[in-house]
Structure formats: C-alpha cells, structure tokens
Structure 1
Amino acid sequence: MLSRLKLVLALIFSLFTIFTGRLIFLQIVSAKDLLLQSQENISEKRRVSPLRGRILARDGTILADNRIASDLMYKGGEIKHWDKLRYLLKLNSEPTQPDLSDPLQRKLGFALAENISDDLVPAIEELVAGQSNLYLHRRLERVYPTSLAAQVVGYTKESLGRYASYALDDLVGEAGIESSFQTTLFGQVGRRDVRVDNRGVDLETVQYKEAKPGQDIILTIDPQIQKLAEDVLENGLQYVNQRRLESEKDFEEVLRGAIVVLNPNNGEILAMASNPSYDQNIFTKRPNDIKKVSELLTDTKHMPLQNRAVQAYPPASTFKLITSSTLLERGYISPSQKYFCSAFLKFGGITWENWSYPASRGNYDVTEAIGDSCNTFFWYAAIDTPDFKQGWAPYIQDLTDRAFEFGYGSRLNIGLGEEKSGRIPTEKWKRDYFNEPWYPGDSLNTSIGQGNVLATPVQVAQLIETIALDGQQFKPHIVKAIGNESKPIESKQIAGKFWSTLKIGMRKMITDHGASRLLGPAAKFPIEIAGKTGTAQNQRGDGYDHAWFAGFAPLVNPEIVFVVFIEYGDNSSKVAVPMARDFFKAYFGVEE
C-alpha cells in the first residue's frame, strides 16, 4: 500500500515538474516569440494602392482620370439591417454568397452593390459598422470624360492575378498610353498596418507608409483637331458608299480608316484618329455591361479596338515619293528626263498596266509622274538602271536603303506599344520568307508601293514632313511631357538635293491632276496644298482598294501634315481627297 502511494506521489511530482518547466519555457524563453504571434493575431498589413496618373491633352483637357467608387462587399454569413440596406440600395434579391473559386471574391467578398452614390455612403457606413462580413470597399475607377482619341489613350482593367507584381484589384493598362506607360501612371504602392479586434474590425492604424501617386502624362494631341479628324473620318462613309453605289456593290456599315495630323516643325502629333472608335468606360465602369464588352472584344470585322494609324498597309503610290527621291538622288534620272506614261508595258512575259489603262498619258518628267501617279514612268525608269534584269540590282538596293532612311521598315517609337514596323522587302527577307530569289518583277512592284511593301499612316506622315522641310526630319511623337518634365524633341537631316522637285510634283497633283477639282485652283481653294494619293490593291479585289491621301499645307512655311487612310475605300481621288478637303476647309476656316 505504501509503495503504491509513493508511486502516485512520484507521478504527481513528475507531472508538476513538467508543467512547471513548460510554464517557465513559455514565460521566459518563448516570451518574445509569443508576444510577436499575439501581435500578429490582432494586426494586419494592408496594401495601399497609389492614385493613378491622369492622361491629358496638350491644353489640359482630361482624357483619362480617376474617381473613388464605393462598393458594398459581403463575405458570407448573417447580415444585420438587411431590410434597410436592401431598401436604400434598391436590391431585388437576397445576398449572394461569395464564390471562393474566384480569387477576387475570395479576397474581397461578393459585391452586393457597386458604385454607390456619394449621398448614400454615410448611411450605408452606419448600417455596416461592426459587421466583419460586410463593409464598404473604396476602389479606384478609371474614367474617360471625352472618349477622344480612344485608341491612343487606351483603357485599363483589373489585374485579377494576371500580373504577379500587382494586386488583384489594381488597374493595369490594356492598350494605348495606359499600357505603354503603365509603370509611370501606376505610381508606387504604400502600406498601412492596422490593429483589429477578434472579429476583424479595424481598431487603429499602427503604421502608415504613404503611396506615391503615378505621374500625369500630357499628350501632344490638340482636342479640337482630334475632334475634327474623328468627325471627318465618321462622315467619310458617304464617299465610300457613293463609290459602292456607282460600282453596284453593297454599302459599308462602318468606315474603317485612320487620320494622322502632325506639326512638321517639331514632330508633335496633333491628332491620331481611328475609326470605328469606342467608349473606354465600357471596360471600366461597374457594373460591367458584359454584352457590350464582349461585342468589342469579339468584333473581328470592324475591330474598333485597333489603332489603324499605327497598323501597316500597302502604301501604294504614296511610296512613289521615295522612288522619285531614289532615282533623283542616286543619279538614275534628272529632273527633266522624260519617259512615256503609257497605258501598259510588257516585261518578263507580263503585261504591267498603268492605272489609266487602256489610255496613255503622254511624255512625263518626274514632277508630272508624281502629280499624275504614273506607274509606267517609274517602271521604265527602273528598267533603265544598270543590271536591272539580274534581280537584286543596284537600283533596288538604293531604293530599299532610301526607304529605311526615311523611317520605313521599323517602328518610329512614337509612344504606343501597338505601333507596327511595316515592311521593306529585301533579297534576304524574300529568301527567308518564301525561299525564293528576288526577281526584277519584285523591284517593279516595290517601286509603286505594292507587292510586299507595308507602311503605317504615321510613317507616311513622317515622309511627308521630311519632304515639306527639305530633308529636316522631326521624330513624330505623341507624348509631350511626363509630369513636369517635357520630352525632348528629336530631329535629324536627311541628305538630298531634290526636295523642291518632289514638292513641285506633289503640288501638280493638286493643281493639274487627281485632286484639282476639290483642292486646286479649279475649286478656288485658297490654301496652297501639296499632296500625293495612293490606291492600294489588296486581297479583297477590284472595287475595294485601300485609299490614301498624304499632304501638307501651306506649300510655303507648312504648319500641318495630313494623312488619311481608308480601308477598302476603292478610289483615293473620290474618297480620300474629299475627306482631305473636308479637313483642310475646317482647319483653315475656308468658307464655301
């Protein structure tokens, strides 16, 4: 009996010793760790998203801004004052439980009401106070007050886990300036350490690191010129459908095209319009109109999200300005040398037709060839160059070099990520792409801007600017300043002696040829304009050629360069030129 009592006492003593040792360990050895864990149990680290920088036009017009939106978020469970909340917010259904498979809902809860009006916020705050499963969430909502230059400005969407460096509800640029300057616009994240009670309700802010707002970006865009360009594009549908009527083809629903207007004296892009356009608020305003968003994203016919001003197309006869410059500057022809502008020529077993076929146009020098856009002049001149029939001859090497010199075949880096490089085909490119040698026929196609040549409207605008300023080339750009820091203006001089010859040819197009009845003396147009049309063949076939007009004004001391491109416009003189007239009339205030 005594031994059993001793055994029990020994067991009790052992347990007491273990308990005492454990208590000493917890109180002394692990005190700091336990204190830290207890503090972590009642404190939370909150990410503070920065205010996104605005996007402004050159005159301060706001193109992209922010507003603080309030949403009522629900994390599941019982809701107090539900009847009052439902009445104030005009909710018709019972609360929806959060979808835990959705990362954003798992983090923030389900949005019972979005964009709650400011006058209701105080009442809602009072009703949700003390409810850990129900709270008002303030978020940044991007707004686009004008929707001007939509494809230039772009739009934002919530990150939703697509980008590792951003929170789920951070706004990330999806297109345009919003995307190209995402880091600059976004700013730097801050942090707020808060103490909460056992229900997760905030008690106090312990530490706060302020977020650094993103910088404003000021564009070179002039809102009035931009609006004019967009109106000219939209109203141009009448000219396209008049051509459809004449050719007995179905009408187009929407005009697809672009206009670029820049200041040749500094390279600033004053307008960059693309049609059809869209309202960026469709992507950013909550609740989203899912149908409208889907229609924009899936419209593969009209592609309203695409900025056509920086997409690449066959430049057609606008490229003859580069061909003329090459022939003159490399000494292949003189300004007075003439070739017969015949209806066609035969070369390599192929009949190559001028646009005037079956009519011939007479003997032309290069200025007349530019003015009347004579294909056969440039073909005869090319064929006359040394070793032309060998394929990749000195002439085509000089032509491609000159095109690269003018900025074709590579991105101009105007400030938009969507900008394409275009294409100047070379012997190597053709062999790599088609596994074929370069033929003389390739040189003939390239000479008139067809075949595999591609250029963007903004590249064509830079070409016109360079000619207008006798070789001085200012780099086109769309961003004027970031914050308070102006972007430097870049320029260089393109070598050449025959700028005046090119300008005489461009002026003859206005006075003597395709544009005379609308922009020349015959129309009594008071502003001297120099220009070049282009009608580009494409896979859609006859009657659906792309239409170009590229020019500058006034002829002396030019102040604007204007380029219009219309997809499937059919005829440049009857579609692009009337649109150029509409623009120049409004810009210069020309009365009827």
Structure 2
Amino acid sequence: MRLKFVVFVILSFFILLIARVYWLSIYSNDYYEELALKNSTKEELIAPIRGAILDRNNTPLAVNQLGFSISLKPHLKQDDLNNTINKLQECLSDIDSEKITKIYKRENSYYNQDEIEIIDFIEYESLNKCYFKLNLDENILIKASFKRLYPYNSLASHIIGYVARANSDDMVSNDVVKVTKKIGKTGIEKYYDEILQGTPGKKVTKVNSINQEVEEIEFKKPIMDNDIKLTIDIRMQQFLDELFKNMSGSAVILNIEDGSILAAGSYPEYNLNPFVTGISQEEWDMMIQDLDHPFTNKIINGRYPPGSVVKMGVGLSFLQSGKIDASTTFTCAGTFNFGGRKFRCHNVYGHGVMDLKSAIRSSCDDYFYKGSLRVGIADISATLYKLGFGKKTDIDLPLESVGILPNKVWKSSRYNQPWYQGETLITSIGQGNFLATPMQVAVYTAKLASGYEIKPHFIDEINKEKIVFEKKDIFTPSEKQDLKYLRLGMFDVANNIKGTGYKPLLESKITLAAKTGTAQVVGISQSEKKRMKEENMEYYTRSHAWMNAYGPYEEPKYAVVVLVEHGMHGGATAGPIVAKIFNKLLELGYIDEKHIKAKK
C-alpha cells in the first residue's frame, strides 16, 4: 500500500510537470510572442503644430515660432553629463547649466529609457551656428519644436488668452499635451484648446536591448487641420485700445443679427508673450495687486452695478404686469421718502410728471422707485432674467460670471434673510446687490433692439468651415408690442435735447438709440443733503460710467456697450466713446452710408 502511494505521488508530479511544460511552450506561446514584440518595439507620439488663431480678415493673432528642443540620453554618468552640458554652454551661452542639471537629475530614474528634455524651445537662429556639431553628439537629441507667439502682444489679450506649460494633471488626461507639454490656459486658447491642439502622429520602431532604434515599423503624420478664425476685426480692436488709453473698463461691439462679436476689450490689457515661458513671482504679484485688475477679463468677469442701463428691462416688467401702461405717470420731486429713508433721484429738483418714455429719456429714478413698489420684485426679476441678467450668456470664453440678480429667493438662499421693499426700489435702478457684466448688458441691448435672443460668440470658422448660430424667438406677442415703447425712450435719450445722451452723442454720424448709466460705487449717507461732486471724490470711490446703444436706429445692426470704471458720468464719459465707435463702424463699411444722418 505504501509503495502504491509513492508511485502515485511520483506520477502526479510528472503529470503536473508535463502540463506546465505544455502551457509554457505551446498554449501561452502567443502571449509571450506578443510580450516579446512589445519589449522590442518603441512607440512614439509625434506632436502636431498648434493651430493658428486668425481674425475675420485672416490676420494672425496667435501663431507658432519654429525652433528646436534639446534632450539628453538617460543614465549618463556625472562626468559625461558635465561634459555634455559644457558643450551646450559653448554654443548657447545664455543657458542655465544649474537648472538643466536639476531637470535632468529629477527625470533620470532607473526605469526611464526615454531621452530627457532639458530645453523645450530654443530659437532657430540661436542653434543654427552649432546645430551640426551638437547633432553629432550621441548624448544629445535635437528635435523640431515651436513656441506660441502673439504678434500684437497685449491687443485683445483677454479674448485670445495664452498657452503655457502644462502641469502633470493636464498630461495624464491628454495624449497631445503629453508630447507638446503645452496647454491653453485662458481665453480662446483654453476654450478651443482641443481643436487647436490637432491630432498627434505616431512612429513605431524596433529597438535592441539598449533601446537603440534599428528599424521603422510604422509612421503616421500628425493631423494639423486645426486653425480657427474669429469674428473680431483687429482694426476695431486697435481702435478700442486707442479710445481706452489710460482708462480702465470694458467695451463690446455685438452684431445684433447673428451674435458675432466684432471687437471687445477689457482694460488695462497685458502682454501675452511672457506667459508662454512663464513670468516671475514678482511680475505676477505686481499684476494681481494692481487696483485696475489687468488680469481680470472684465468682458465676462467684471461684475458691476448696471445702474440706469437696466431701466428699459424694468420698464418692460411694468408694462407686462398689467398694473402700469405706457401712459401711466408718476410725479418726481427729486426725493422719495419711504420706510424712514430718502431715495434720491439724480435730479435733486425733480423731473415733474413722468411717463415711461420720458422717464427713460431723462433717467428719472423716482418714476422707477414708485413703479417698482406697484409691480413688485418678483415680476421685475423674472423679466430681467429673461433679458439675460443673473445667468450666463454662454459666450465661447471660459469661466463666465453669472453676476447677481437680487430677489427674494436669492436673498433667502444666500443670507437667510427676508426681502425689504427698499431693496426693490434700489434694484429697479440697477443698484444695491445687482451686478452685471458688460457682455450681459450687450446681449440685453441686442434683445431690446431686435426682439430675438442671439448667442454671442467669437468663433467664425473651424478648419475653414463656417460656424452658424441661429437666433431664437423668446418674446411673447405682448412683449414684442411693448418693446416699441422702450425703443422710443432710448431714441429720445440720444436724439431729444432733454435726453441724458443727447450732447455726448452729437458727434455720431448715424442715428442711435441709447441709455446712459451712472453706477454708484459707494452709498450716500442719509444725513447728506447734497451729494458731493464726483470730481471731488477719491478716484476709486467715483461712480462707473455706462452707456449701451444700438444703431442704426432704423435698421439695428450693432449693439455697443461701453463701461468706464470710475468714469463718474455715464453720458459725459462713455457717450463720446460710443459715438466714435459707431463712426468707425461706418468708416470700415460695417454700417452702410445710407444711414448717415442728414445735416441740420
């Protein structure tokens, strides 16, 4: 019995051994062949050239400066590394050997078999004189590379944005970024980054045991049909820059018919090119500590009290409520006493009897105070939301702000406090907690002028394919009927001698409809009988100056919004800028000469 057991154990052992040999030599042959093939081949992604950004007339706004990158062979001994870096320094005197050494040692792990990039870009002219000498060194690998270049430096900086070195998280999720090591950080560069990157190519080679290439197995070129064209005209951008010289604020020129943006600016601007390679901490600190906020994209992130430019929207809510019609009047005495507080009109002597049209024309606060109490904040905020306040415009720029459209629900959810009627009064004139962006005001103006909702956008073409956006009919027949009263009021602002924008817009060569707005930055004390003149106030406490306008009045084509930070008076400061913008549109052919006003 014992003998049988021993024989059984021996036979079992040999059966298992034979089975294992069969598995290794026959059954798993395909698996190990595939593994061996992988161990003997090398796959390398080939970086595409980033797409160019062009203006509507194909003027380059963001292009690529061609040059070289330099990598070193991994696992170099210290003496070899020092000799190689010394050789580079002989040719390239401005390189930082200490920085290069640090980069190399950080990336030179035992498991890394790929070359280590120590210089991601060097200009063609700088390397040309010693290219062949360095290229013959087996420890040095020179590859074609590119650096983003912005020919106009700071022009349209908040629209275009910039490209910079990607971080480790960016590289994990994106194959193109892994090889280019660049990614769009702001503006159009960020929003359309996936398109601008292109599609990487691929090179598969057979390598020997020390990772040397011995044969090319596959080669696929990168796909680079990735240029984009914008709707902006660089000539209008340059003109805006001239108008805003030494001023802070924002401007938007929006095509009412299709939502394309002809020009937009956020001032002051900043030079994009230093961000491509990285700026110093000192430079960054100076920029973010600047009280004029050059790094903030005020077009979509500047949140300001809209002031009186919202009065047409509030007026529409009055008409739609059924409690006020276009002929309803209120008497303005200059001050409205309510709830133990004084609510002032900008005209301390009062405007007298006002209806909706004359209240818009003269920007009478008292009319809107009294009307808002009759209608209520719920109807007012609902209409303003429909007109675009308190929500994104969905423009093709990243991180757009929604602003603040205050009402009972908003205050309860944010502060867990009740709403007071005094807040309704100040909201009706665009003050208090009410905040809006210049782009929201531009879209709102376009809706008033056309009766349609359009999507504002900077994109015109992708790979020479036109991108079309359709306008939406969002207004009821009743609302469309009431829009005419608002337009008549805006017409009088610009064309009636009593209008708040009449004098500032006299230089406009075409007939406009407009609204002025002076948005307070600081409140007025209840004990102050007569407000201090803006000119005598500290600069950063002065009111912001707004004007929104559209034209030509007969056939609206462009909405223009101008905001001058601490500009004091909407009409006097923003008005002349608006007039000059429309005259430039006429000069460049964007507005037909048939709309030129007849001389009086």
- Give the TM-score taking structure 2 as reference length: 0.80
Aligned mate of 1:519, from 497, 505, 523: 505
Of the three residues 62, 65, 68, the one matched with 1:64 is: 62
In the alignment, what sits opposite 1:400?
A: 381
Q: 2:359 aligns with which of 344, 358, 369?
A: 369
After TM superposition, list the pairs within 5 Å mapping 1:347-366 onto structure 2: 347-357=338-348, 359-366=349-356
Q: What whole-Å deviation, never above 9, does each CA across 1:90-109 have from its counterpart, x for those lacking one? A: 35876752435755998754
Q: 1:346 aligns with which of 312, 328, 337?
A: 337
Q: Deviations over 1:300-323 (max 9, x none)?
A: 533322210112321111111101
User: Per-residue displacement from partner, 1:278-300 (whole Å, max 9, x unpaired)?
Assistant: 22211225xx5536763576445
Q: Tell me the distance in 2 between the aligned counterparts of 1:540 and 1:299.
A: 25
Instruction: Give the Cα–Cα distance (whole angstroms) in 2 for the partners of residues 104 and 232 of structure 1.
Output: 53
Partner in structure 2 of residue 531 of structure 1: 514
Return the offset for 1:430: 0.9
Secondary structure of the 2:472 match is strand
Task: State how 1:6-155 maps to structure 2 within 5 Å.
Answer: 43-74=41-72, 77=78, 78=80, 85-91=88-94, 96-99=100-103, 102=106, 109=116, 111=118, 114-118=121-125, 120-121=127-128, 123-132=130-139, 134-147=140-153, 148-155=155-162
In structure 1, distance between residues paired with 2:185 and 2:472: 33
Q: What residue identity is the alignment partner of 1:473? A: E
Residue 438 of structure 2, aligned match among 442, 457, 478: 457
- 8 Å contact kept, 1:233–1:259: no
Aligned to 2:336, what secondary structure does the other structure show? Answer: strand
Superposition map of 1:189-338 within 5 A: 189-196=200-207, 200=211, 202-213=213-224, 215-234=226-245, 237=246, 255-285=247-277, 288-290=278-280, 294-295=284-285, 298-299=288-289, 301-311=291-301, 312-338=303-329
Letter in 1 for 2:457: H
Letter in 2 for 1:190: G
Superposed CA offset, 1:241-297 (max 9, x none)? xxxxxxxxxxxxxx3211000111211111111111122211225xx5536763576
| In structure 2, distance between residues paired with 1:289 and 1:309 | 24
User: What's the offset of the Cα at 1:534?
Assistant: 1.1
SS at match of 1:415: coil
Q: Which amino acid aligns with 1:507?
A: F
The structural deviation recorded for 1:515 is 2.3
Tell me: CA distance 1:74–1:546, structure 2 relative to 1, closer, same or farther (3 Å): same
Q: How many Å separate the matches in 1 of 2:230 and 2:283?
A: 27
The answer to whether the 8 A contact 1:74-1:97 is kept is: no
Structure 1's 71 and 190: CA in aligned 2 closer, same or farther, altered over 3 A? closer
Q: Distance in 2 between matches of 1:564 and 1:294?
A: 28
Moved more, 291-300 or 328-337: 291-300
> CA offsets, 1:481-520, max 9 Å, x none?
2223322322123232122221221122223232222213
1:433 Cα deviation (Å)?
A: 1.0
User: What is the distance in 2 between the residues matched to 1:103 and 1:501?
Assistant: 69
Distance, in Å, in 1 between the alignment partners of 2:31 and 2:471 is 64
More displaced, 275-284 or 179-188? 179-188
- Aligned residue type for 1:537: Q
Taking the aligned partners of 1:71 and 1:57, their CA distance within structure 2 comes to 30
Q: Percent of pairs identical after alignment? A: 27
Give the count of matched residue pairs.
533
- Cα distance change of structure 1 residues 207 and 113 upon mapping to structure 2, 3 Å threshold: closer
Q: Does the 8 Å contact 1:317/1:534 carry over to 2?
A: yes
Q: Sort the Cα spacing of 1:188 and 1:292 in 2 relative to 1 into closer, same or farther, 3 A.
A: farther
The one-letter code matched in structure 1 to 2:372 is: A
Which of the residues 183, 192, 207 maps onto 2:194? Answer: 183
- Give the Å deviation of 1:169: 4.4
CA 1:532–1:207: 2 relative to 1, 3 Å: same
SS of 1:162's partner is helix
- Could you give the per-residue CA deviations for residues 87-130 of structure 1, whole angstroms, max 9, x where no partner exists? 44335876752435755998754636941325844842443324
Residues 62/92 of structure 1: CA separation in 2 closer, same or farther (3 Å cut):
closer
Paired amino acid for 1:429: W
SS of equivalent residue, structure 1 residue 467: helix
Deviations 1:388-434 (A, max 9, x none): xxxxxxx3222111112112211111111221112222212111111
Q: Return the letter of the residue paired with 1:509.
A: V
C-alpha distance after superposition, 1:132-189 (max 9, x if no partner)? 3x22133332222224321111111222312222317422111111111222222333
Who is 1:245 aligned against?
none
| Structure 1: distance between partners of 2:95 and 2:304 | 52
Query: 122-131 or 403-412, which moves further after superposition?
Result: 122-131
The answer to whether the 8 A contact 2:259-2:454 is kept is yes
Distance of aligned partners of 1:339 and 1:489 in 2 relative to their CA distance in 1, 3 Å threshold = same
- 2:103 match: secondary structure: coil
- Work out which of the residue numbers 403, 412, 427 in structure 1 matches 2:408: 427
**1:3 counterpart residue number:** none
**Relative to 1, partners in 2 of residues 1:109 and 1:505: Cα closer, same or farther, differing over 3 Å?**
same
Partner secondary structure for residue 381 of structure 1: helix
Asked if the contact 2:50/2:196 (under 8 Å) is kept, the reply is yes
Residues 82 and 537 (structure 1), Cα distance of their counterparts in 2 relative to 1, 3 Å cut = closer
- Rate the CA distance shift 1:548–1:57 in 2: closer, same or farther, 3 A: same
Does the C-alpha gap of structure 1 residues 297 and 383 become closer, same or farther in structure 2, counting only changes over 3 Å?
closer
The whole-number CA distance in structure 2 between the counterparts of 1:72 and 1:408 is: 51
Deviation at 1:532, TM superposition (A): 0.6
Runs of 5+ unmatched residues, structure 1: 1-20, 238-254, 386-394
Q: Give the C-alpha shift of residue 535 in structure 1.
A: 1.3
- Cα contact 2:248–2:564 (8 A) shared by 1: yes
Q: Tell me the distance in 2 between the aligned counterparts of 1:92 and 1:98.
A: 13
Alpha-carbon spacing, 1:112–1:48, altered in 2? closer, same or farther (3 Å): closer
Residue-by-residue CA offset, 1:323-358 (whole Å, 9 max, x unaligned): 11111233332222222222111011111111122x
Partner of 2:422: 441
TM-aligned CA deviation for residue 197 of structure 1: 5.8
1:159/1:168 contact within 8 Å kept? no
User: Within the alignment, does 1:506 sit opposite 2:490 as a pair?
Assistant: yes
Distance 1:160 1:121, change over 3 A: farther
Aligned-pair CA distance for 1:211: 2.9
- Asked whether the 8 Å contact 2:501–2:515 carries over to 1, the reply is no
The residue aligned with 1:567 is: 565
Distance 1:205 1:28 in 2: 30
Deviates more, 1:411-420 or 1:37-46: 37-46
8 Å CA contact retained: 1:460, 1:550: yes
Sort the Cα spacing of 1:44 and 1:384 in 2 relative to 1 into closer, same or farther, 3 A. Answer: closer
Q: Does the CA contact (< 8 Å) of 1:506 and 1:530 recur in 2?
A: yes
Are the equivalent residues in 2 in contact too, given 1:161–1:168 (CA < 8 A)?
Answer: no
**Matched position secondary structure for 1:504:** helix
Q: Which runs of 5+ in 2 are unaligned?
A: 1-17, 525-536, 588-595
Q: Give the superposed CA RMSD.
A: 3.3
Assess if the C-alpha contact under 8 Å between 2:225 and 2:463 holds in 1. Answer: no
| Distance of 1:501 and 1:412 partners within structure 2 | 25
**C-alpha distance in structure 1 between counterparts of 2:105 and 2:454, whole Å:** 53
Deviation at 1:203, TM superposition (A): 4.3
Structure 2 CA distance for aligned equivalents of residues 472 and 33 of structure 1: 64
Q: CA deviation at 1:442?
A: 1.7
Q: Report if aligned partners of 1:310, 1:419 keep a CA contact under 8 Å in 2.
A: yes
Q: Residue 274 of structure 2 aligns to which amino acid in structure 1?
A: I
